[in-house]
């Protein structure tokens, strides 16, 4: 009976595949639930878990670690963009899997239901961890006798013990051979708190062989007090008086429904059109962002593709229990599969529209993340532009326009940290990219209860009795394939240079001016920001404004952060993309993740820095800007027991892209209420609800009915 059910399931999946690969899908749409199931079926057929011969039956282990869209070549997507009815693009999936202790890299063609490429990875490094194997590894200590004995010796109750996994990194071991695929396990004590990360059980380290799911190394080295539960709880329901300030609630109401239109993953808002995708490794992907120019009467492309390509989080404690904590949150844990469901009215405002996302679990089954994205118009009281002129004969003139922007948001929880990812589009042409860090600090237990007792370097800050929060960094590298009015672009660095007035032509002694330099090769473009006053832009040297300026988009950096680890330290060897804030490479479909393709236990042999050593030409070419932002984090008591959000980011701002202010003629929205009058929620009839109800989830299934078709928007994105 079970066999019949399996056969029927495969038949249904295969019979539906023409529908799955329908041209209703945008070529950059993430894989749907049905497509992930079809990938699973095709791969399992090619790599069976049971092989039977005339004499033996062997059992093979197959696990899925990454299943994502095999992104078509850019030229193919752009051809489809201009002729969506006639250009057909095969839907293909990229799969990283483990089969009999080997790493497979597969390309699956969903249209022909076949494997078009099969490679065995023979170098160092392993694919993204699956949640399933991490759960299995975390459960092992609960039945491991040496661990149970260690817990008893500490006087702790096993019923309050939970464990979590930590990546092992690479520190020079097995220089010439392959390291076994491993993960470490740390345990915590949850009695009287849900904040497990603030009650670590110190001194115990365990290493798990992931291919065999067994503990292969166990140490119980030291014993220190487990930090107290008092003051660690963050749940509101468990708080006791006195309470903090009561904050006023403000609802963002859209009387006529959302100000944007959504067709599948394609968004049109104000003067912007773009595509929102999802990837289980990197999370949100913004593609084909174009802005309408009212002077030229057309949409002009700005950003072909943008996303967080890697995040590196090294901790600054060299002791046995902590030294290996040097995380790559995209390449090891999967920034996308770590996305969490967003809470309406808390993570996102009242006027938000939500979208789901899907990834494949260890067995290849699709997993749904409900409300993985929210999209909303942001009315934050900002001013788009204004001016008051009082020197006129006719009296004072005052003009002001309120600013409204569109935000695409996703939150990823990777271990103890929650990361808020925002892509904000502004009518002025700017794209603001933001990241917020919140969650719980990583801590370790110590015997100290006061800073006066500390006589040695504990590599962190004492935030509570017996609790040290370790110093650490966060580096995020963004992949930004800017196509400023076309693919042929250049990278220009503009220095602000002080000049002295030496010829007595002016009472002034000095002034500053600018000097520009166009980077011709990759190595010329490697830069750290903040070392001197400079500006950085991607320009199109083939198109100029009426007065002769090259059109471009400027990178407006956030705070400048560079690594403080030595270049020969193993974590830094694995993450050399943090050595510079700016890198520029020629477009290459295969170069998409700054940390390399297989990051877990990698050795720095495949990454952005290695690719750039070829020093390829980048002037007037199809180029990619890679930008790394960072935070050096010295913890403070205000970040205990849960951390208020710390924000950072950057802006991509038009620079001579338009002939004049593109929002000069922006129309001020009529106020829905009089100033100081009470705000009341409108009824559905009053709101005249249009295509999408604010706050409602939107499926990414191709069967969803929407008001705008891909064909109508094909000239936009």
Catalytic residues: 329, 417
Token couple for 251: 């609802």
| Chain CA centroid to CA 60, Å | 34
Helix segments in 583-648, DSSP class H: 608-612
Phi-psi region of 113 (alpha: psi -120 to 50; beta: other; left: phi over 0): left
* Separation of alpha carbons 327 and 472, rounded Å: 11
| Chain CA centroid to CA 169, Å | 21
123, 598 Cβ separation under 8 angstroms:
yes
How would you label 394-407 residue by residue, b for 16+ Cβ within 10 Å and e otherwise?
eeeeeeebbbbbbb
302, 483 Cβ separation under 8 angstroms:
yes
HSE (side-chain half, CA atoms, 13 Å) at 481: 21
Helix axes 2-20, 33-46, angle to 10 degrees: 120
Phi-psi region of 288 (alpha: psi -120 to 50; beta: other; left: phi over 0): left
* Separation of alpha carbons 49 and 483, rounded Å: 45
The CA–CA distances, whole Å, from 379 to 256, 268, 445, 478, 616 equal 15, 18, 44, 26, 44
| Chain CA centroid to CA 309, Å | 7
Question: What is the DSSP secondary-structure string of 283-332?
Answer: EEEEEEEEEEETTTTEEEEEEEEEEEEEEEEEB---STTTTT-EEETTTT
Phi, psi (5° rounding) for residue 685? -65, -40
564, 603 Cβ separation under 8 angstroms:
no
Of 276, 253, 255, nearest in space to 375 by CA: 276
* Separation of alpha carbons 430 and 420, rounded Å: 20
Token couple for 2: 């079970």
Phi-psi region of 404 (alpha: psi -120 to 50; beta: other; left: phi over 0): beta
HSE (side-chain half, CA atoms, 13 Å) at 526: 16
Question: What is the DSSP secondary-structure string of 76-112?
Answer: HHHHHHH-TTT-----EEEEEEEETTEEEEEEEETTT
The CA–CA distances, whole Å, from 650 to 216, 279, 304, 407 equal 44, 22, 18, 14
450, 660 Cβ separation under 8 angstroms:
no
3-class SS of residue 391: coil
The CA–CA distances, whole Å, from 273 to 31, 247, 429 equal 21, 35, 11
Q: Is the peptide bond before 356 cis (omega within 30 degrees of 0)?
A: no
Token couple for 546: 């009426």
């Amino acid at each position: 009976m079970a066999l019949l059910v399996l056969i029927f399931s495969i038949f249904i999946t295969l019979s539906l595949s023409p529908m799955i690969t329908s041209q209703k899908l945008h070529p950059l749409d993430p894989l749907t639930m049905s497509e992930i199931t079809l990938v699973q079926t095709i791969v399992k057929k090619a790599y069976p878990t049971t092989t039977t011969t005339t004499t033996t039956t062997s059992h093979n282990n197959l696990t899925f670690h990454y299943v994502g869209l095999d992104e078509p070549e850019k030229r193919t997507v752009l051809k489809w963009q201009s002729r969506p009815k006639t250009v057909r693009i095969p839907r293909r999936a990229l799969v990283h899997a483990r089969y009999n202790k080997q790493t497979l890299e597969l390309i699956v063609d969903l249209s022909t239901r076949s494997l078009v490429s099969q490679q065995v990875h023979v170098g160092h490094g392993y694919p993204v961890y699956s949640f399933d194997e991490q759960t299995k590894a975390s459960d092992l200590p609960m039945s491991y006798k040496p661990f149970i004995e260690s817990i008893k010796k500490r006087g702790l109750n096993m019923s309050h013990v939970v464990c979590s996994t930590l990546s092992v990194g690479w520190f020079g071991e097995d220089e010439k051979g392959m390291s076994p695929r491993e993960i470490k396990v740390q345990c915590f004590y949850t009695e009287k708190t849900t904040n497990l990360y603030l009650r670590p059980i110190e001194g115990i380290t365990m290493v798990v062989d992931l291919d065999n799911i067994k503990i292969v190394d166990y140490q119980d080295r030291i014993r220190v007090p487990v930090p107290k539960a008092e003051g660690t709880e963050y749940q509101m329901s468990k708080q006791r008086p006195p309470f903090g300030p009561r904050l006023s609630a403000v609802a963002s109401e859209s009387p006529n429904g959302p100000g944007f239109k959504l067709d599948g993953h394609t968004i049109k808002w104000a003067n912007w059109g773009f595509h929102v995708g999802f990837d289980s490794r990197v999370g949100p992907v913004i593609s084909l962002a174009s802005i309408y120019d009212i002077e030229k009467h057309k949409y002009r492309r700005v950003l072909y593709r943008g996303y967080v390509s890697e995040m590196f989080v090294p901790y600054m404690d060299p002791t046995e229990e902590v030294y290996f904590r040097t995380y790559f949150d995209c390449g090891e844990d999967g920034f996308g599969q770590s996305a969490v469901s967003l809470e309406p009215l808390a993570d996102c405002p009242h006027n938000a529209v939500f979208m789901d996302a899907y990834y494949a679990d260890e067995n290849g089954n699709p997993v749904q993340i409900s409300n993985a994205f929210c999209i909303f118009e942001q009315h934050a009281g900002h001013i788009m532009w204004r001016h008051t002129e009082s020197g006129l004969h006719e009296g004072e003139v005052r003009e002001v326009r309120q600013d409204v922007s569109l935000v695409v948001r996703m939150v990823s929880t990777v271990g103890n940290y929650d990361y808020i990812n925002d892509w904000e589009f502004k009518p002025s042409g700017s794209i603001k990219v933001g990241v917020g860090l919140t969650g719980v600090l990583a801590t370790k237990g110590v015997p100290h209860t006061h800073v006066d007792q500390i006589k040695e370097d504990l590599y962190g800050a004492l935030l509570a009795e017996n609790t040290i929060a370790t110093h650490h960094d966060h580096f995020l590298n963004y992949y930004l394939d800017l196509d400023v009015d076309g693919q042929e672009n250049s990278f220009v660095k503009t220095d602000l240079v002080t000049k002295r007035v030496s010829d007595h032509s002016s009472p002034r002694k000095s002034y500053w001016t600018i000097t520009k330099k166009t980077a011709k090769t990759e190595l010329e473009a490697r830069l750290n920001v903040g070392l001197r006053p400079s500006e950085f832009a991607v320009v199109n040297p083939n198109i100029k404004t009426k007065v002769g300026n090259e059109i471009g988009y400027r990178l407006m950096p956030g705070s400048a952060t560079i690594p403080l680890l030595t270049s020969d330290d193993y974590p830094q060897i694995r993450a050399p993309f943090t050595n510079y804030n700016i890198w520029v490479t020629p477009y290459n479909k295969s170069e998409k993740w700054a940390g390399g393709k297989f990051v877990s236990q990698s050795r720095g042999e495949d990454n952005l820095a290695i690719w750039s050593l070829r020093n390829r030409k980048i002037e007037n070419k199809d180029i990619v800007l890679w930008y790394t932002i960072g935070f050096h984090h010295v913890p403070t008591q205000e970040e205990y027991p849960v951390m208020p959000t710390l924000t950072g980011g950057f802006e991509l701002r038009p620079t001579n892209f338009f002939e004049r202010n593109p929002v000069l003629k922006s129309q001020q929205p009529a106020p829905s209420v009089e100033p100081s009058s009470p705000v009341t929620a409108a009824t559905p009839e009053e709101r005249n609800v249009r295509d999408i109800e604010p706050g409602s989830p939107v499926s990414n299934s191709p069967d969803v009915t929407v008001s705008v078709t891909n064909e109508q928007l094909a000239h936009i994105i």
